């Protein structure tokens, strides 16, 4: 498997965590988003969106991290990253979607670039914009974790929700978003830092990291 990635991409970070939790080995090919390498013709031929991640496997190219996570769960069911009950699975998907649909798209690299290029935003304004979406999202997530979580976001083993939560916390810190109001999320982040699958997926530990 080849994971097309960028060390700081939150969406690629999700996939690395899941691959590691499943105990799978993979190579990584970094695309430096800062120089626009994701728009190179050779990469766009693989992923027409020109975004990371993409996973090359068995002659296929899988794109969109939620689809890749679901594919991984279907093809490599052990250890399970989804609960056994349908209602539990719906809760995990809801937490993952809260991040992947309702937070991350508003604070990814291209949105920050558009804020700068189209509206003259400086870094402080970009940070405030990110906080505007991360804070209410995390407020809801903290409540959902209080309802459904234990050691992890849902129950006492890592799920696909945690694959999304941890990268979003990393991103929140990059935007200087205060996190004190989210003790449950911070406890999960601390647990992840001590878990090999999460720790080795951390951006700073990737081959293309600065
Ligand atoms: N919904 C996509 C989002 C992917 C995404 O936002 N990727 C960012 C990095 S985290 C990217 O490639 N940005 C480069 C660009 O937009 O040109 C997924 O979950 O895979």
pLDDT tens column, 34-62: 999 999 999 999 999 999 999 999 999 99
Distance CA 3, CA 118 (A): 32
Looking at residue 197, its pLDDT comes to: 98
For all residues of the chain together, what is the average pLDDT?
97
- Ligand 1 atom 19 nearest Cα: 65
pLDDT digits (tens, 9 = 90+) for 126-135: 999 999 999 9
Residue 56: the pLDDT is: 98
Of the chain, the end-to-end C-alpha distance in Å amounts to 24
CB distance 51 to ligand 1 below 6 Å: yes
Residue located nearest, by CA, to atom 14 of ligand 1: 51
pLDDT in the model for residue 174: 96
> Per the omega criterion (within 30 degrees of 0), is the bond before 103 cis?
no
Of 85, 91, 78, 96, give the one whose Cα is nearest residue 160.
96
- pLDDT-derived band at 143 (thresholds 50, 70, 90) equals very high
Long-range contacts of 177-181 (CB under 8 A, 24+ apart): 177/127, 177/130, 177/131, 177/134, 177/135, 178/131, 178/135, 179/138, 181/135, 181/138, 181/139, 181/142
Ligand 1 site, residue 111, Cβ cutoff 6 A? no
The confidence band for 203, taking pLDDT boundaries of 50, 70 and 90, is very high
**Residue 29 CB less than 6 A away from ligand 1:** no
| CATH domain 86-197 topology | Glutathione S-transferase Yfyf (Class Pi); Chain A, domain 2 (1.20.1050)
How confident is the model at residue 27, as a pLDDT? 97
Percent helix, strand, coil in the chain, to 5, is 60, 10, 35
Residue 171 alpha carbon to ligand 1 centre in Å: 13
Q: Which atom of ligand 1 is nearest to the CA of 31?
A: 12
CA atoms within 13 A on the CB side of 28: 24
User: Which pLDDT tens digit goes with each residue over 96-119?
Assistant: 999 999 999 999 999 999 999 999
| The two structure tokens encoding residue 5 | 């990635």
Q: Residue of the nearest CA to atom 20 in ligand 1?
A: 64
C-alpha 166 to ligand 1 mean position (Å)? 16
> Does ligand 1 have an atom closer than 6 angstroms to the CB of 141?
no
Does ligand 1 have an atom closer than 6 angstroms to the CB of 112? no
pLDDT value at residue 69: 98
Q: In this structure, which CATH number among 3.90.25.10, 1.10.10.10, 3.40.30.10, 3.30.420.40 belongs to the domain 2-78?
A: 3.40.30.10
The response to whether residue 107 sits with its C-beta less than 6 Å from ligand 1 reads no
Let me know: does 198 contact 16? Beta carbons within 8 Å.
no
Tokens describing residue 109:
């690299």
Domain ranges of the chain: 2-78, 86-197
Q: What is the pLDDT of residue 209?
A: 97
% of the chain beyond a pLDDT of 70: 100
- Compute the distance from residue 6 Cα to the ligand 1 centre, in Å: 10
Q: What would the pLDDT profile of 60-91 be if each residue is shown by its tens digit?
A: 999 999 999 999 999 999 999 999 999 999 99
Average pLDDT over every residue of 179-202: 98
């Amino acid at each position: 498997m080849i994971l097309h990635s960028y060390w700081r991409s939150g969406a690629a970070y999700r996939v690395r965590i899941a691959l590691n939790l499943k105990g799978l080995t993979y190579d990584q090919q970094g695309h430096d988003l800062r120089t626009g390498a994701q728009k190179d013709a050779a990469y766009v031929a693989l992923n027409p969106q020109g975004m990371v991640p993409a996973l090359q496997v068995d002659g296929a190219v899988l794109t969109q991290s939620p689809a890749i996570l679901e594919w991984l769960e279907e093809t490599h069911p052990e250890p399970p990253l989804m609960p056994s009950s349908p209602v539990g699975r719906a809760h995990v998907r809801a937490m993952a979607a809260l991040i992947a649909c309702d937070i991350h798209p508003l604070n990814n690299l291209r949105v920050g670039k558009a804020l700068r290029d189209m509206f003259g935003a400086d870094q402080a304004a970009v940070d405030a914009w990110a906080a505007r979406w991360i804070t209410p999202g995390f407020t809801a997530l903290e409540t959902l974790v209080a309802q459904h979580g234990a050691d992890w976001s849902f129950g006492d083993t890592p799920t696909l929700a945690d694959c999304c939560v941890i990268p979003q916390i990393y991103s929140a810190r990059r935007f200087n978003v205060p996190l004190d109001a989210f003790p449950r999320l911070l406890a999960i982040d601390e647990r992840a830092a001590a878990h090999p699958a999460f720790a080795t997926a951390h951006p700073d530990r990737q081959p293309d990291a600065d």
